[in-house]
A and B are shown apart, each in its own frame.
Chain A
């Protein structure tokens, strides 16, 4: 699976949009971009995934650049409950094998 690069930490004011970047410059054509988050003391939680088109669900939006070398996870109205470590992962379509979690971005939502 392609390697991803994320900033180690970010701050965002409560109520504002949180934009979390991820670089995946070596991504290949059949690799999807996945985002998970881990709130303190809980297991990681799936957020969203995409291949090349922008995606939106009830939790977040995923913006993937046209060259697919980077993406941004957007939490439109961040709340204190969004404080967590956010992981960006790329992996080949249809595979069941392990996901390797990197260090992620620790997002602090400021009141």
Chain B
């Protein structure tokens, strides 16, 4: 596609439920990144994929958070047993190998609200 697509754009869930957030990167972008941004806060790195493998998962805040990527394309971020502090905008970005000439392209994000 022309850009990074994220779905859903908004998600309201009850505390304790599981949620899945989806990211469709730009075709041909081998690197994929997940960030989150709580209200009024900065961007917090979660995980980075190169192809289907995740060399850096250091930003995942707890074992309730997991992510996978299949076919070197679509990625899913799963949050189990959601808590109110998980409420944030979850942003996905992708880039060409090396990232040099084009930097990252971000999606519009998924706004997650845990009630």
B100 interface contact, C-beta 8 A: yes
Query: Which of B14-22, B67-75, B76-84, B101-109 is near enough to bind chain A?
Result: B101-109
Report the bound CA distance from A36 to B106 in whole Å.
Answer: 11
Number of interface residues of B (CB under 8 A): 29
Number of interface residues of A (CB under 8 A): 23
User: Are the C-beta atoms of B109 and A46 separated by less than 8 Å?
Assistant: no
User: Are the C-beta atoms of A93 and B100 separated by less than 8 Å?
Assistant: yes
Within 8 A of A (CB), among B79-115: 89, 91, 93, 95, 97-100, 102-109
Residue of A nearest to B4 (CB): A43
Q: Chain B contacts of A45 at CB under 8 A?
A: 106
User: Are the C-beta atoms of A98 and B103 separated by less than 8 Å?
Assistant: no
A49 interface contact, C-beta 8 A: yes
User: Are the C-beta atoms of A96 and B99 separated by less than 8 Å?
Assistant: yes
- Interface residues, chain A, with chain B CB atoms under 8 Å away: 32, 34, 36, 38, 41-46, 49, 93-104
Beyond the given pairs A96-B97, A98-B45, 4 more chain A to chain B contacts, judged by CB atoms under 8 angstroms and listed by A's residue number, are A43-B91, A43-B106, A46-B105, A101-B43
